[in-house]
Amino acid sequence: MEKKYIGVGVIGLGVVAGQVSKVLHESEEFLSAQLGFPLKLKKVKVLPQDMNRPLAKVLPEGVLTTDEDDFFNTPGLDIVVEAIGGEYPAFNLLSRGLKMGKCVVTSNKEVIAKHAPELVKLARENNTGLRCEASVGGGIPLISPFQYDLAANHINGIYAIINGTTNYILTRMAKEGLDFETALKQAQSLGYAEANPSNDIEGTDAVYKLAIMASINFQCKVKPEDIYREGISRLTSRDFCYADELGFNIKLLAITKPGNGQIEARVHPVFLPKDEWLAKVDGVFNAVLVEGDLVGPVLFQGQGAGALATSSAVVADVLAAAQDIHLGVGNRMRWNMDKPLGIKPMSDILTRYYLRMTVTDSPGVLALIAKVLGDHNISISSVIQKETDEENLTAEIVIMTHPAKEASVQQALVELGGLDKVKDINNFVRVGI
């Protein structure tokens, strides 16, 4: 007898997976009407301790299972959704689904960033699909526009605020004058930051997402470990005061762009002029600015995380996969990673810099600093010096440079740090994109 529906299985019952299961169950009639044929939640693979969750009690009887084999061997299971996070066992579960010819959908940025080549290869070998829209922008559509809507463009650059936790923290530091630790605790109390927030505040989450965007757009394999990463924990309220005075906002940016057979791929704080699009994106919102040679600049903005926003993208992927299966379409992925493009060394990056340092309040200090910078081909754009700390006989100065090579700036900072008259290199931040 011919099967009259497309069956979906979900792995997990956490925040995202639970919301996806809830939507698939409660909105079955609506989603089926969208497709023009029935879509059914067939199975949900959970851990034993998940069986007593409130959501588990509202799902249809017989849908829940704690057995992996029972899940994958469910009759009529066409699509597997993985939303448990982490590298393992997620990679093994996705691989098993693909080897069985099932279309897989995932919101897992880590497993896609680290294992996209293997998973794409398995999908092609088994003539099935791999969909991962939610792995980068959460509820913001990015992968589909990259692979289809912007496919006619050579992408000249991607500049992204792609982590809501860090953007919330930076917004509170800028608008309320909070120090980093206070802003972090506020984010945690509101549920915007995990108890262990290191993946967010040190830029690892953004690196995973940037690796995916770069590999799709530039058709090369980009390893997360090859991306330069710098978090936000060394930023202080002083930096935000100076940024405001100079006409900038501070954002954690993920940046990638091509050039001379290489691509830039880096995540770090940036001083952005206040009138630029990305500088105006505040709170937990994410935004991705894409520059195409034909379309020009395009801005994608919205909620990048959270159960509702992420489930929106996951369920949309499920609907697209169901449509392919219904039409008898196997693999139609536009994701090639065979271009031999290397990552441009961070030392070769050319940009402007903000330098903040504490120096002795004595004649000739600025001239000495200017000479060191000049010796490294670094030109000064402007200098700010605040009132002297009369007790310690020191002064804080801020220098804005013209564009300079990263290697030159790093060498100059080492030399400056060795001078008796320079008491501390308080911070440095790259300026502009």
- Measured CA to CA, the distance from residue 419 to residue 227 in angstroms comes to 32
**Alpha-carbon separation of residue 195 from 163, 164, 198, 365 (angstroms):** 16, 15, 9, 44
Contact 21, 45 (CB under 8 A): no
Q: Indicate the SS3 state at residue 347.
A: helix
Contact 133, 176 (CB under 8 A): no
Q: How many C-beta atoms surround the C-beta of residue 296 within 10 A?
A: 10
Active site residues: 209
> In whole angstroms, what separates CA 311 from the centre of its chain?
17
Q: Return the DSSP state at 413.
A: H
Four-point Cα dihedral 72, 77, 83, 89, nearest 10: 20
Among all chains, which residue has been given the structure tokens 């794409």?
120
Supply 120's token pair: 């794409």
Residues with Cβ within 8 Å of residue 155, at least 6 apart in sequence: 146, 217, 218, 257, 258, 290, 291, 292, 293
Q: Are strands 350-360 and 342-343 parallel, antiparallel or unpaired?
A: unpaired
Q: Indicate the SS3 state at residue 176.
A: helix
Q: Is the peptide bond before 269 cis (omega within 30 degrees of 0)?
A: no
| 429, β-bridge pairs | 354
- Measured CA to CA, the distance from residue 200 to residue 207 in angstroms comes to 10
Contact 268, 254 (CB under 8 A): no
- Residue among 334, 346, 339, 400 at smallest CA distance from 373: 400
Q: Indicate the SS3 state at residue 285.
A: strand
Provide the strand spans (E) within 293-415: 296-303, 342-343, 350-360, 380-385, 394-401, 404-405
Supply 81's token pair: 């959704």
